Structure 1
Amino acid sequence: MAEPRRSLPDVADLFDAHGAELLRYCTGRVGPTVAEDVVADTFLIAHQRRHRLADGPARAWLYGIASNLLRRHRRSETRALRALARTGRDLDQTDIADGAAARADASALTRRLAAVLAALPARQRDVLLLYAVAELGYEEIARTLDIPLGSVQSALHRARVKLRAALATDPATTASPDGGSR
């Protein structure tokens, strides 16, 4: 007796459910122009390989595809982060704040964050951005990157330690709005 044919996932439904969050994640990684291409390619690949999804977690599967595509942009991403660290200006964004002082503070923090992200090992950067930008949980990150759960936890911990250490030396990030220290 032949097995009943399982239904393939509807990519349009997957796009409706996950497209916007995937675009936000990719935009945080590579900027809006490349992000749109990465998301489009993600759903093209998802359509071509939809038979591989079965009844598994679609969200992690899509993030896995997008992460693989983003790895192809790793070199340009690192170059862009280093350039951002040098200049403090993201040419794809408008001014961060209206006042000159606020722009200077934001620019300094942006340069510092970009430098820290560029200096992180690829695995730590991937885990940190999947957690902080895409808001994936530990298990989803493990499935997305095809790594053990413990590796996700340790990579996130190490990335946070490095980020905290780098920001702790920046006076703009250690003063609270009321003038005291945090």
Structure 2
Amino acid sequence: MTVTTRQGMSDAAVIEQSWQEPGVFAALYERHAPHISRYVARRLGDDLADDVTAETFYRAFEKRRHYDLDRPDARPWLYGIAANVMAQHHRKETRMLRAFARSGADPVAQTYGGQLEGADDRVTATGMHQSLAAALAGLSRAHREVLLLIAWADLSYEETARALDTSVGTVRSRLHRARKKIRAALGDANPMFVTGNGGGTDRERP
């Protein structure tokens, strides 16, 4: 089967075919790795992005026979695996956020420059304020995970629930608490815009 044909296949179809032809899984990597890598870099910095992305797809490849083929879009599954890999670096992420809150120097933005334009369009126009970094650093891992999967990975509530293997109700509850804490830290300002590009009905508008 040609690469062009695979590009027209759903993620689920690619994964299913990779059961018999492992090399086909590369199409899933080519399709989603750049987005996963940018998301990881935004959270952990450029130095860990490649390693975390590689580990994410290695685990995905190893688990591919357990994938639910009724789900044509593998993004929630992949982001869920990435979240588990990033959990090992939770303390580093918190240290990065606190360092940015103190200094105002965002190491990720300095590394990527204009490449991050559009990736963070759910944060205020002036970028990730120091006060927002401090607020994010103060969130629990569970609350931060939900908030950023929706705000930066552009997942819906349902997709976030699938990524984290939890219920939509739990996602809504965690998101509400995360927003409440951030608003309190920012003096009731709401810097997080969680409407998706597609305007999903289950996303709240600011």
TM-score range, shorter chain: 0.7 to 0.9
2:43 is equivalent to residue 29 of structure 1: yes
C-alpha deviations, 1:39-93, integer Å up to 9, x for none? 1111111122222224153211111110000000011111221122122212343
Higher Cα Rg, which structure: 1
Q: State the TM-score, normalized to the length of structure 1.
A: 0.76
Question: Stretches of 4+ moved more than 6 A in 1?
Answer: none
Task: Tell me the equivalent position of 1:120.
Answer: 139
Q: State the TM-score, normalized to the length of structure 2.
A: 0.68
Q: Is the CA contact (8 Å cut-off) linking 1:23 and 1:39 kept in structure 2?
A: yes
Q: 2 CA distance for matches of 1:27 and 1:92?
A: 7
Q: 2:171 aligns with which of 152, 157, 168?
A: 152
Worse-superposed segment, 85-94 or 150-159: 85-94
C-alpha deviations, 1:109-141, integer Å up to 9, x for none? 632111000001111100000000000011111
**Structure 2 residue matching 1:135: 3-state secondary structure:** coil
How many residues end up aligned between the 2 structures?
A: 158
CA pair 114-133 structure 1, distance change in 2 beyond 3 A: same
Correspondence list, 1:57-96, <5 A: 57=71, 58-94=74-110
Q: 2 CA distance for matches of 1:23 and 1:39?
A: 6
Q: 2 CA distance for matches of 1:26 and 1:138?
A: 20
Q: Is the CA contact (8 Å cut-off) linking 1:24 and 1:134 kept in structure 2?
A: no
Please identify which structure carries the higher helix content.
Answer: 1
Amino acid at match of 1:77: E
C-alpha deviations, 1:131-158, integer Å up to 9, x for none? 0000001111111111111010011111
Q: 2 CA distance for matches of 1:35 and 1:50?
A: 22
Worse-superposed segment, 50-59 or 125-134: 50-59
- Identity within the alignment, %: 45
2:154 is equivalent to residue 140 of structure 1: no
Worse-superposed segment, 70-79 or 16-25: 16-25
Task: Tell me the equivalent position of 2:148.
Answer: 129
Q: 2 CA distance for matches of 1:90 and 1:38?
A: 20
Q: Which runs of 5+ in 2 are unaligned?
A: 1-15, 114-125, 192-206
Q: Is the CA contact (8 Å cut-off) linking 1:23 and 1:35 kept in structure 2?
A: yes
Q: 1 CA distance for matches of 2:140 and 2:130?
A: 18
Cα drift, residue 8 of structure 1: 3.0
CA pair 21-92 structure 1, distance change in 2 beyond 3 A: closer
CA RMSD of aligned residues (A): 2.6
C-alpha deviations, 1:150-181, integer Å up to 9, x for none? 010011111112222222368xx8xxxxxxxx
Q: Is the CA contact (8 Å cut-off) linking 1:124 and 1:155 kept in structure 2?
A: yes
Q: 1 CA distance for matches of 2:174 and 2:62?
A: 32
CA pair 87-156 structure 1, distance change in 2 beyond 3 A: same
Cα drift, residue 24 of structure 1: 2.2
